[in-house]
Amino acid sequence: MFVIFKYSHGYPKFASIRLFNMATSVLLPPTEKVKGLKELNRKLFEKTVLVPSLHLDKSTVSKAIPIIKKYLLKLENFKAVQPCNSDVTIYLNPDKVKHWTCISEEDSSQLYSLGVSNNNLKFEDITLTYNNYTYDIILKSVLPGDNDGLSSFTKIGHILHVNLREHLLPYKKLIGEVLLEKVKNCKSVVNKLDMIDNTYRNFEMEILSGEDNMQTSVKENGCLFEFDFSTVYWNSRLCTEHERIIEIVKSNDLFIDVFAGVGPFSIPIAKKGCYVHANDLNPESYRWLNHNMKINKVKEDYIKTYNKDGKDFIKTEVKNILMKNINNYNIHIVMNLPALAVEFVPHFVGLLKENTLEIIKPPVLYVYCFAKGSETNTDFTAIAKTSVIKNIGFDISDKIINIFEVRTVSNFKKMMRVSLKLDKDILIGTTENLKRKRDDIEQDTQKILKCENGEEKTQ
Protein backbone atom coordinates (compact mmCIF):
# COMPACT_ATOMS: atom_id res chain seq x y z
CA MET A 1 0.00 0.00 0.00
CA PHE A 2 1.35 3.44 -0.90
CA VAL A 3 0.21 6.52 1.00
CA ILE A 4 1.14 9.76 -0.76
CA PHE A 5 0.95 12.24 2.09
CA LYS A 6 3.28 12.56 5.06
CA TYR A 7 1.49 11.93 8.36
CA SER A 8 2.63 9.93 11.36
CA HIS A 9 -0.50 8.82 13.21
CA GLY A 10 -2.65 6.34 11.27
CA TYR A 11 -4.36 7.60 8.16
CA PRO A 12 -4.22 11.34 7.48
CA LYS A 13 -7.42 13.37 7.40
CA PHE A 14 -7.25 12.86 3.64
CA ALA A 15 -5.09 10.60 1.55
CA SER A 16 -4.76 9.19 -1.91
CA ILE A 17 -3.94 5.52 -1.55
CA ARG A 18 -2.83 3.03 -4.16
CA LEU A 19 -3.77 -0.61 -3.69
CA PHE A 20 -2.22 -3.97 -4.35
CA ASN A 21 1.35 -4.31 -3.27
CA MET A 22 0.98 -7.91 -2.15
CA ALA A 23 3.04 -7.54 1.03
CA THR A 24 1.38 -10.58 2.62
CA SER A 25 3.03 -13.95 1.86
CA VAL A 26 1.93 -15.39 -1.47
CA LEU A 27 1.18 -18.68 0.34
CA LEU A 28 -1.38 -17.03 2.57
CA PRO A 29 -3.98 -15.18 0.41
CA PRO A 30 -7.61 -16.39 0.56
CA THR A 31 -8.66 -19.47 -1.37
CA GLU A 32 -9.96 -19.38 -4.94
CA LYS A 33 -13.48 -19.84 -3.52
CA VAL A 34 -13.73 -16.07 -2.96
CA LYS A 35 -12.92 -15.13 -6.58
CA GLY A 36 -15.87 -13.37 -8.17
CA LEU A 37 -17.89 -12.89 -4.95
CA LYS A 38 -20.47 -10.13 -5.29
CA GLU A 39 -21.87 -10.48 -1.77
CA LEU A 40 -19.43 -10.58 1.10
CA ASN A 41 -19.25 -14.05 2.70
CA ARG A 42 -16.64 -13.87 5.47
CA LYS A 43 -16.77 -17.62 6.11
CA LEU A 44 -15.27 -18.35 2.68
CA PHE A 45 -12.07 -16.57 3.67
CA GLU A 46 -11.14 -19.19 6.27
CA LYS A 47 -8.04 -21.13 5.36
CA THR A 48 -5.70 -23.48 7.23
CA VAL A 49 -2.01 -23.09 6.35
CA LEU A 50 1.23 -24.67 7.52
CA VAL A 51 3.70 -22.09 8.81
CA PRO A 52 7.14 -22.28 10.47
CA SER A 53 7.49 -21.29 14.11
CA LEU A 54 10.22 -21.02 16.73
CA HIS A 55 9.53 -22.22 20.26
CA LEU A 56 11.73 -20.31 22.67
CA ASP A 57 12.18 -19.95 26.38
CA LYS A 58 10.67 -16.70 27.68
CA SER A 59 14.09 -15.48 28.83
CA THR A 60 15.47 -15.75 25.29
CA VAL A 61 12.68 -13.96 23.40
CA SER A 62 13.75 -10.33 23.94
CA LYS A 63 17.25 -11.08 22.62
CA ALA A 64 16.07 -13.21 19.70
CA ILE A 65 13.36 -10.86 18.35
CA PRO A 66 15.79 -8.22 16.92
CA ILE A 67 17.57 -11.00 15.01
CA ILE A 68 14.47 -12.66 13.51
CA LYS A 69 12.31 -9.55 13.13
CA LYS A 70 12.62 -9.60 9.33
CA TYR A 71 11.37 -13.21 9.20
CA LEU A 72 8.17 -12.66 11.24
CA LEU A 73 4.75 -13.53 9.87
CA LYS A 74 2.90 -10.22 9.48
CA LEU A 75 -0.86 -10.46 9.12
CA GLU A 76 -3.80 -8.25 10.02
CA ASN A 77 -5.05 -8.89 13.58
CA PHE A 78 -2.41 -11.56 14.13
CA LYS A 79 0.36 -11.58 16.74
CA ALA A 80 3.52 -13.20 15.45
CA VAL A 81 4.81 -13.59 19.03
CA GLN A 82 2.44 -15.57 21.26
CA PRO A 83 2.92 -17.03 24.77
CA CYS A 84 2.31 -20.76 24.93
CA ASN A 85 2.40 -22.49 28.35
CA SER A 86 5.99 -22.22 29.63
CA ASP A 87 7.57 -20.94 26.41
CA VAL A 88 6.82 -18.50 23.59
CA THR A 89 5.86 -19.33 19.99
CA ILE A 90 7.18 -17.02 17.27
CA TYR A 91 5.48 -17.46 13.88
CA LEU A 92 7.61 -16.93 10.76
CA ASN A 93 6.74 -16.05 7.18
CA PRO A 94 6.56 -19.29 5.12
CA ASP A 95 7.77 -17.40 2.05
CA LYS A 96 11.00 -16.51 3.83
CA VAL A 97 11.58 -19.58 5.99
CA LYS A 98 10.94 -22.99 4.43
CA HIS A 99 13.71 -24.63 6.47
CA TRP A 100 16.43 -23.58 8.88
CA THR A 101 18.98 -22.84 6.16
CA CYS A 102 16.71 -20.07 4.85
CA ILE A 103 17.85 -18.01 7.84
CA SER A 104 21.08 -16.23 6.92
CA GLU A 105 24.36 -17.56 8.24
CA GLU A 106 24.94 -14.40 10.28
CA ASP A 107 21.47 -14.53 11.85
CA SER A 108 21.59 -18.27 12.56
CA SER A 109 25.00 -17.81 14.19
CA GLN A 110 23.61 -15.13 16.52
CA LEU A 111 20.61 -17.33 17.32
CA TYR A 112 22.91 -20.25 18.04
CA SER A 113 24.78 -18.12 20.58
CA LEU A 114 21.44 -17.74 22.38
CA GLY A 115 20.87 -21.47 22.35
CA VAL A 116 18.42 -21.34 19.44
CA SER A 117 18.97 -23.86 16.63
CA ASN A 118 17.19 -26.06 14.12
CA ASN A 119 15.75 -28.01 17.06
CA ASN A 120 13.60 -25.00 17.97
CA LEU A 121 12.02 -24.79 14.49
CA LYS A 122 8.61 -26.43 14.13
CA PHE A 123 5.87 -26.38 11.49
CA GLU A 124 2.25 -26.09 12.56
CA ASP A 125 -1.18 -25.32 11.16
CA ILE A 126 -2.88 -21.98 11.78
CA THR A 127 -6.34 -20.94 10.62
CA LEU A 128 -6.68 -17.60 8.87
CA THR A 129 -10.00 -15.75 8.67
CA TYR A 130 -11.42 -12.65 6.97
CA ASN A 131 -10.08 -10.62 9.90
CA ASN A 132 -6.49 -11.54 9.02
CA TYR A 133 -6.59 -9.94 5.58
CA THR A 134 -6.16 -6.29 4.61
CA TYR A 135 -8.61 -4.66 2.18
CA ASP A 136 -6.08 -4.78 -0.69
CA ILE A 137 -5.53 -8.53 -0.34
CA ILE A 138 -9.29 -9.15 -0.09
CA LEU A 139 -10.15 -7.07 -3.15
CA LYS A 140 -7.27 -8.50 -5.16
CA SER A 141 -8.53 -12.01 -4.35
CA VAL A 142 -12.19 -11.27 -5.09
CA LEU A 143 -12.19 -8.99 -8.13
CA PRO A 144 -11.73 -10.46 -11.63
CA GLY A 145 -8.16 -10.52 -12.84
CA ASP A 146 -8.86 -10.17 -16.56
CA ASN A 147 -9.49 -6.40 -16.30
CA ASP A 148 -8.00 -3.54 -14.35
CA GLY A 149 -8.95 -3.78 -10.70
CA LEU A 150 -9.60 -1.07 -8.17
CA SER A 151 -6.18 0.58 -8.23
CA SER A 152 -6.70 3.47 -5.82
CA PHE A 153 -9.09 5.49 -3.70
CA THR A 154 -9.11 8.87 -2.02
CA LYS A 155 -9.90 9.53 1.63
CA ILE A 156 -11.39 12.91 2.54
CA GLY A 157 -12.02 13.07 6.27
CA HIS A 158 -14.44 10.23 7.05
CA ILE A 159 -15.37 9.80 3.35
CA LEU A 160 -13.66 7.29 1.12
CA HIS A 161 -14.08 8.08 -2.57
CA VAL A 162 -13.63 5.53 -5.39
CA ASN A 163 -14.02 5.74 -9.17
CA LEU A 164 -15.35 2.36 -10.23
CA ARG A 165 -15.03 1.34 -13.85
CA GLU A 166 -18.01 -0.30 -15.49
CA HIS A 167 -16.73 -3.88 -15.12
CA LEU A 168 -16.44 -3.38 -11.33
CA LEU A 169 -19.97 -2.10 -10.79
CA PRO A 170 -21.40 -5.61 -10.12
CA TYR A 171 -18.99 -5.79 -7.15
CA LYS A 172 -19.69 -2.31 -5.78
CA LYS A 173 -21.63 -3.50 -2.73
CA LEU A 174 -18.82 -5.83 -1.65
CA ILE A 175 -16.15 -3.20 -2.38
CA GLY A 176 -18.00 -0.64 -0.25
CA GLU A 177 -18.49 -3.06 2.63
CA VAL A 178 -14.85 -4.22 2.68
CA LEU A 179 -13.44 -0.69 2.56
CA LEU A 180 -15.84 0.56 5.22
CA GLU A 181 -14.76 -2.21 7.59
CA LYS A 182 -11.07 -2.24 6.81
CA VAL A 183 -10.04 1.41 6.35
CA LYS A 184 -9.46 3.20 9.63
CA ASN A 185 -11.85 6.04 10.52
CA CYS A 186 -13.92 5.49 7.36
CA LYS A 187 -17.65 6.10 7.81
CA SER A 188 -18.83 6.50 4.20
CA VAL A 189 -17.75 4.93 0.90
CA VAL A 190 -18.91 6.75 -2.23
CA ASN A 191 -18.55 6.16 -5.96
CA LYS A 192 -18.43 8.95 -8.54
CA LEU A 193 -21.18 8.50 -11.14
CA ASP A 194 -20.38 11.19 -13.71
CA MET A 195 -17.42 13.15 -14.98
CA ILE A 196 -16.91 16.63 -13.53
CA ASP A 197 -18.40 18.58 -16.41
CA ASN A 198 -21.01 20.86 -14.92
CA THR A 199 -20.81 24.52 -14.04
CA TYR A 200 -19.82 24.05 -10.42
CA ARG A 201 -17.27 21.20 -10.79
CA ASN A 202 -19.07 18.82 -8.41
CA PHE A 203 -20.35 15.40 -9.41
CA GLU A 204 -23.14 12.96 -8.65
CA MET A 205 -22.25 10.22 -6.20
CA GLU A 206 -23.78 7.04 -4.90
CA ILE A 207 -23.16 5.76 -1.39
CA LEU A 208 -21.79 2.22 -1.54
CA SER A 209 -21.67 1.69 2.20
CA GLY A 210 -21.91 3.61 5.45
CA GLU A 211 -23.45 6.93 6.43
CA ASP A 212 -25.24 9.36 4.12
CA ASN A 213 -23.17 12.27 5.45
CA MET A 214 -21.07 14.22 2.96
CA GLN A 215 -20.11 17.09 5.27
CA THR A 216 -16.51 16.50 6.23
CA SER A 217 -13.32 18.24 7.32
CA VAL A 218 -9.75 18.08 6.10
CA LYS A 219 -6.57 19.48 7.56
CA GLU A 220 -4.10 20.70 4.96
CA ASN A 221 -1.09 23.03 5.10
CA GLY A 222 -1.83 24.10 8.64
CA CYS A 223 -5.47 24.98 7.95
CA LEU A 224 -8.79 23.23 8.60
CA PHE A 225 -11.22 23.02 5.68
CA GLU A 226 -14.86 22.10 6.17
CA PHE A 227 -17.22 21.48 3.27
CA ASP A 228 -19.95 19.29 1.81
CA PHE A 229 -18.13 16.92 -0.55
CA SER A 230 -21.30 16.43 -2.65
CA THR A 231 -21.68 20.13 -3.52
CA VAL A 232 -18.12 21.46 -3.96
CA TYR A 233 -14.90 20.43 -5.67
CA TRP A 234 -12.07 18.99 -3.58
CA ASN A 235 -9.12 16.95 -4.83
CA SER A 236 -6.84 15.49 -2.17
CA ARG A 237 -4.18 14.72 -4.77
CA LEU A 238 -3.49 18.45 -5.11
CA CYS A 239 -2.25 18.86 -1.54
CA THR A 240 1.41 19.00 -2.60
CA GLU A 241 0.66 21.46 -5.39
CA HIS A 242 -1.18 23.72 -2.97
CA GLU A 243 1.90 23.60 -0.77
CA ARG A 244 4.21 24.50 -3.69
CA ILE A 245 2.27 27.65 -4.56
CA ILE A 246 1.96 28.63 -0.89
CA GLU A 247 5.77 28.44 -0.67
CA ILE A 248 6.22 30.56 -3.81
CA VAL A 249 3.99 33.39 -2.57
CA LYS A 250 5.76 35.54 0.04
CA SER A 251 4.41 37.71 2.84
CA ASN A 252 2.98 41.04 1.60
CA ASP A 253 2.55 39.70 -1.94
CA LEU A 254 -0.84 40.07 -3.63
CA PHE A 255 -2.62 36.84 -4.57
CA ILE A 256 -5.64 36.47 -6.86
CA ASP A 257 -7.49 33.13 -6.98
CA VAL A 258 -9.88 33.05 -9.95
CA PHE A 259 -11.35 29.61 -9.15
CA ALA A 260 -10.81 29.46 -5.40
CA GLY A 261 -13.11 26.60 -4.39
CA VAL A 262 -13.29 26.29 -0.60
CA GLY A 263 -9.90 28.00 -0.24
CA PRO A 264 -7.00 25.48 -0.32
CA PHE A 265 -4.75 28.12 -1.94
CA SER A 266 -6.30 31.31 -0.59
CA ILE A 267 -6.78 30.54 3.12
CA PRO A 268 -3.17 29.47 3.90
CA ILE A 269 -1.75 32.31 1.76
CA ALA A 270 -3.90 34.90 3.55
CA LYS A 271 -2.79 33.47 6.89
CA LYS A 272 0.85 34.11 6.03
CA GLY A 273 0.17 37.83 5.62
CA CYS A 274 -0.57 38.15 1.90
CA TYR A 275 -3.39 40.19 0.39
CA VAL A 276 -5.83 37.75 -1.22
CA HIS A 277 -8.76 38.13 -3.60
CA ALA A 278 -10.60 34.80 -3.87
CA ASN A 279 -13.44 34.07 -6.29
CA ASP A 280 -15.68 31.11 -7.08
CA LEU A 281 -18.84 30.85 -9.15
CA ASN A 282 -20.33 27.99 -7.12
CA PRO A 283 -22.45 29.54 -4.33
CA GLU A 284 -21.72 26.52 -2.11
CA SER A 285 -17.96 26.87 -2.62
CA TYR A 286 -18.28 30.60 -1.87
CA ARG A 287 -20.23 29.83 1.32
CA TRP A 288 -17.66 27.29 2.55
CA LEU A 289 -14.80 29.60 1.53
CA ASN A 290 -16.16 32.28 3.85
CA HIS A 291 -16.84 29.69 6.54
CA ASN A 292 -13.24 28.44 6.32
CA MET A 293 -11.97 32.01 6.63
CA LYS A 294 -13.72 32.26 9.98
CA ILE A 295 -12.71 28.90 11.45
CA ASN A 296 -9.09 29.55 10.46
CA LYS A 297 -9.25 33.05 11.96
CA VAL A 298 -8.13 34.79 8.78
CA LYS A 299 -8.26 38.55 9.24
CA GLU A 300 -10.65 40.29 6.85
CA ASP A 301 -7.91 42.84 6.10
CA TYR A 302 -6.05 40.11 4.23
CA ILE A 303 -8.79 38.47 2.16
CA LYS A 304 -11.76 39.53 0.08
CA THR A 305 -14.12 36.97 -1.45
CA TYR A 306 -16.28 37.07 -4.58
CA ASN A 307 -19.03 34.92 -6.09
CA LYS A 308 -18.67 35.64 -9.81
CA ASP A 309 -18.16 33.94 -13.14
CA GLY A 310 -14.43 33.73 -13.92
CA LYS A 311 -14.68 35.93 -17.03
CA ASP A 312 -16.63 38.65 -15.20
CA PHE A 313 -14.23 38.46 -12.26
CA ILE A 314 -11.22 39.00 -14.54
CA LYS A 315 -12.84 41.76 -16.60
CA THR A 316 -14.00 43.75 -13.56
CA GLU A 317 -12.40 42.88 -10.22
CA VAL A 318 -9.00 41.68 -11.45
CA LYS A 319 -8.77 44.66 -13.78
CA ASN A 320 -9.44 47.09 -10.92
CA ILE A 321 -7.04 45.27 -8.59
CA LEU A 322 -4.24 45.44 -11.18
CA MET A 323 -4.92 49.08 -12.07
CA LYS A 324 -4.54 50.05 -8.41
CA ASN A 325 -1.72 47.75 -7.38
CA ILE A 326 0.50 46.87 -10.34
CA ASN A 327 4.17 47.71 -9.59
CA ASN A 328 3.34 48.08 -5.88
CA TYR A 329 3.27 44.34 -5.14
CA ASN A 330 4.48 41.04 -6.48
CA ILE A 331 1.18 39.80 -7.89
CA HIS A 332 0.31 36.12 -8.38
CA ILE A 333 -2.83 35.01 -10.23
CA VAL A 334 -3.90 31.36 -10.04
CA MET A 335 -6.41 29.69 -12.36
CA ASN A 336 -6.88 26.13 -11.11
CA LEU A 337 -9.61 24.86 -13.38
CA PRO A 338 -7.59 22.45 -15.54
CA ALA A 339 -10.45 21.45 -17.83
CA LEU A 340 -11.23 25.06 -18.83
CA ALA A 341 -8.66 27.54 -17.45
CA VAL A 342 -6.83 28.03 -20.77
CA GLU A 343 -10.08 29.39 -22.23
CA PHE A 344 -9.96 32.24 -19.71
CA VAL A 345 -6.39 33.34 -20.57
CA PRO A 346 -7.53 35.57 -23.52
CA HIS A 347 -9.45 37.76 -21.06
CA PHE A 348 -6.11 39.14 -19.85
CA VAL A 349 -5.17 40.38 -23.32
CA GLY A 350 -5.58 44.18 -23.38
CA LEU A 351 -7.09 44.12 -19.88
CA LEU A 352 -5.15 47.28 -18.89
CA LYS A 353 -5.11 49.01 -22.27
CA GLU A 354 -6.15 52.30 -20.60
CA ASN A 355 -3.14 52.10 -18.28
CA THR A 356 -0.33 54.51 -19.22
CA LEU A 357 2.09 53.19 -16.56
CA GLU A 358 5.15 51.17 -17.42
CA ILE A 359 4.72 47.65 -16.07
CA ILE A 360 7.84 47.12 -13.96
CA LYS A 361 6.55 44.12 -11.97
CA PRO A 362 4.56 41.93 -14.36
CA PRO A 363 2.04 39.74 -12.51
CA VAL A 364 2.67 36.00 -12.75
CA LEU A 365 -0.23 33.89 -14.04
CA TYR A 366 -0.39 30.19 -13.10
CA VAL A 367 -2.61 28.36 -15.58
CA TYR A 368 -3.55 24.73 -14.91
CA CYS A 369 -4.52 22.47 -17.79
CA PHE A 370 -4.81 18.84 -18.82
CA ALA A 371 -2.38 17.64 -21.48
CA LYS A 372 -3.61 14.58 -23.36
CA GLY A 373 -1.40 12.36 -25.51
CA SER A 374 -1.68 9.06 -27.33
CA GLU A 375 1.79 7.54 -27.03
CA THR A 376 4.17 6.63 -24.22
CA ASN A 377 6.74 9.23 -25.40
CA THR A 378 4.22 12.08 -25.57
CA ASP A 379 5.73 15.50 -24.82
CA PHE A 380 3.12 16.80 -22.38
CA THR A 381 5.08 20.02 -21.83
CA ALA A 382 4.77 20.92 -25.52
CA ILE A 383 1.05 20.11 -25.51
CA ALA A 384 0.42 22.34 -22.46
CA LYS A 385 2.42 25.18 -23.99
CA THR A 386 0.60 24.92 -27.30
CA SER A 387 -2.77 24.94 -25.57
CA VAL A 388 -2.00 28.22 -23.80
CA ILE A 389 -0.54 29.87 -26.92
CA LYS A 390 -3.45 28.80 -29.09
CA ASN A 391 -5.97 30.22 -26.65
CA ILE A 392 -4.19 33.52 -26.02
CA GLY A 393 -3.85 34.12 -29.75
CA PHE A 394 -0.14 34.89 -30.21
CA ASP A 395 3.25 33.38 -29.41
CA ILE A 396 4.10 34.00 -25.75
CA SER A 397 7.05 31.60 -25.57
CA ASP A 398 9.33 34.35 -24.23
CA LYS A 399 6.85 35.09 -21.42
CA ILE A 400 6.60 31.51 -20.11
CA ILE A 401 8.58 31.11 -16.88
CA ASN A 402 8.18 27.34 -16.62
CA ILE A 403 5.87 24.43 -17.35
CA PHE A 404 5.49 21.99 -14.48
CA GLU A 405 3.94 18.53 -14.34
CA VAL A 406 1.57 18.58 -11.34
CA ARG A 407 0.34 14.99 -11.40
CA THR A 408 -0.39 12.01 -13.62
CA VAL A 409 -4.10 11.50 -14.26
CA SER A 410 -3.63 8.43 -16.47
CA ASN A 411 -0.99 6.99 -18.80
CA PHE A 412 -1.89 9.47 -21.50
CA LYS A 413 -3.16 12.42 -19.47
CA LYS A 414 -1.29 14.75 -17.12
CA MET A 415 -2.22 17.84 -15.17
CA MET A 416 0.21 20.66 -15.98
CA ARG A 417 0.92 24.13 -14.64
CA VAL A 418 2.05 26.84 -17.08
CA SER A 419 3.53 29.91 -15.36
CA LEU A 420 3.85 33.06 -17.43
CA LYS A 421 4.52 36.78 -17.02
CA LEU A 422 1.63 39.11 -17.79
CA ASP A 423 3.75 41.90 -19.26
CA LYS A 424 2.72 44.94 -21.30
CA ASP A 425 2.41 42.89 -24.51
CA ILE A 426 -0.43 40.96 -22.91
CA LEU A 427 -2.04 43.38 -20.46
CA ILE A 428 -1.76 46.55 -22.52
CA GLY A 429 -1.66 44.92 -25.96
CA THR A 430 1.26 46.86 -27.45
CA THR A 431 2.70 43.96 -29.42
CA GLU A 432 2.17 43.61 -33.14
CA ASN A 433 1.43 39.94 -32.51
CA LEU A 434 -2.05 40.93 -31.39
CA LYS A 435 -2.84 42.02 -34.96
CA ARG A 436 -1.69 38.82 -36.60
CA LYS A 437 -4.09 36.65 -38.55
CA ARG A 438 -5.61 33.58 -37.00
CA ASP A 439 -4.03 31.30 -39.69
CA ASP A 440 -0.50 32.51 -38.74
CA ILE A 441 -1.19 31.73 -35.09
CA GLU A 442 -2.47 28.27 -36.07
CA GLN A 443 0.69 27.62 -38.12
CA ASP A 444 2.89 28.61 -35.16
CA THR A 445 1.06 26.33 -32.75
CA GLN A 446 1.36 23.44 -35.20
CA LYS A 447 5.11 24.01 -35.34
CA ILE A 448 5.30 23.84 -31.56
CA LEU A 449 3.27 20.61 -31.56
CA LYS A 450 5.89 19.02 -33.82
CA CYS A 451 8.17 19.10 -30.80
CA GLU A 452 6.13 16.15 -29.47
CA ASN A 453 7.40 13.99 -32.32
CA GLY A 454 10.96 15.27 -32.06
CA GLU A 455 10.71 17.18 -35.35
CA GLU A 456 11.28 20.55 -33.73
CA LYS A 457 12.30 21.65 -30.23
CA THR A 458 10.66 24.65 -28.64
CA GLN A 459 11.41 25.68 -25.04
CA atoms within 13 Å, Cβ hemisphere of 124: 11
Backbone angles phi, psi at 79, to 5 degrees: -95, 120
Single-letter amino acid, residue 145:
G
| SS3 (DSSP) at 319 | helix
Residue type, 293: M
Beta carbons of 289 and 270 less than 8 angstroms apart: no
Residue 309, marked binder: yes
> Which element (helix H / strand E) includes 392?
helix 380-392
Dihedral Cα 90, 94, 95, 98, nearest 10 deg: 100
CA atoms of 265 and 246, how far apart (whole Å): 7
First to last CA, the chain: 38
Per-residue exposure over 346-372, b if at least 16 CB sit within 10 Å of its own CB, e if not: ebbbebbeeeeeebeebbbbbbbbbbe
Find out whether 99 is annotated in a ligand binding site. Answer: no
Instruction: State yes or no: 427 annotated in a binding site.
Output: no
**336 labelled as ligand-binding?**
yes
**Known binder of ligand: residue 310?**
yes
Alpha carbon of 22 to those of 3, 25, 51, 139, 439: distances in Å? Answer: 15, 8, 18, 11, 55
d(CA 19, CA 353): 53
Secondary structure (DSSP) of 118-172? GGGEEEEEEEE-GGGS-HHHHHHHHS-SSS----EEEEETTEEEE---GGGGGGH
Ranges of beta strands (E only) in 411-452 are 413-421
Strand order in the sheet with 121-128: 81-84, 87-91, 47-57, 121-128
What's the angle, vertex CA 11, arms to CA 10 and CA 16, rounded to 5?
A: 150
Beta-strand relationship, 2-3 and 87-91: unpaired
- Total length of the chain: 459
Strands (DSSP E) contained in 63-137 are 81-84, 87-91, 121-128
The answer to whether the annotation marks 242 as part of a ligand binding site is: yes
Q: Which residues pair with 211 in a beta bridge?
A: none
CA–CA separation, 153 vs 179, rounded Å? 10
Annotated binding site for S-adenosyl-L-methionine: 242, 280-281, 309-310, 336
Annotated binding site: 242, 280-281, 309-310, 336
